[in-house]
Copies of this chain bind each other. A is one copy, B any other.
Amino acid sequence: MRSKTPDKRLRILDSAVRVFAREGFFKAKVSQIAEDAGLAPGTVYLYFKNKEDLLISVFEERMEEIVSRFRAAVMEHHDPKSRLECLVRMHLSGFQSDPDLAACFQVELRQSSRFMRRGVKGGLQQYLGLIREIVESGRREGVFRKEVSAGLVTHLIFGALDEVVSTWVMSGMKYNLVSLTGQLVDLLTNGIGSGVSVIAKQGLEVDREADRALS
């Protein structure tokens, strides 16, 4: 009955995402996660040390899957700008299509002192690594600027994505997050300054609700 199986482990992680999103990390109880997974509370402890270990494991294991899936999709494109556009779109649509995961990653996870104090950064480093690869490919091909720090560019892209998703989560996920893709890619590529040749505007409209929530 209480033997360990990969299937049970996955069920627990899926339930953890749901319960953390619904109850919040602090209020959530391991027993609720067990109940959601249809398991006895003791079974959860066969796989995870405690509630924080569960939260960190959710992040690390989901990130591993996300990074490998995103990388495969991004690398199908050869133009670095299309790679960036693909990444931004997948980042926004990934959270939009999974509100529980969005709440977990953008709100609950940051309440773990172990996470915030950099006890675990594997998943985040992998994701930053993927962004960095896109940046480097653009620099090699001369479509992204080389005279600026590639590390700073990488964090600029991540910071923009993270902020946009956090704002969406905190405003109640009420608008079409993916509608921001075109403008965000445009802003990252061409900047906020008006000294640039304006590119095609088609398909760059931002959802009206999004625009209101960002204000």
Which B residues are in CB contact (< 8 Å) with A183?
Answer: 148-149, 152
Chain A binding surface SS class: helix
Is the Cβ of B192 less than 8 Å from the Cβ of A188? yes
Given the contacts A113-B24, A183-B149, A192 and B107 also touching, CB distance less than 8 Å: no
Is the Cβ of A152 less than 8 Å from the Cβ of B180? yes
Which B residues are in CB contact (< 8 Å) with A211?
Answer: 149, 151-152
Is the Cβ of B163 less than 8 Å from the Cβ of A184? no
Is the Cβ of B187 less than 8 Å from the Cβ of A156? yes
Q: How far is the CA of A195 from the CA of B142 in the complex (A)?
A: 9
The answer to the question of A159 belonging to the interface, with a C-beta cut-off of 8 Å to chain B, is yes
Shortest Cβ distance from residue A195 to the other chain B in the assembled complex, whole angstroms: 7
Give me 8 A-to-B residue pairs in the complex whose CB atoms sit less than 8 angstroms apart, sorted by A's number. Answer: A25-B113, A81-B193, A110-B111, A142-B194, A145-B194, A152-B184, A153-B187, A155-B160
Apart from the given pairs A144-B193, A152-B214, A156-B163, 6 other A-B contacts in the complex at a CB distance below 8 Å: A118-B170, A143-B194, A149-B214, A152-B206, A155-B214, A156-B160
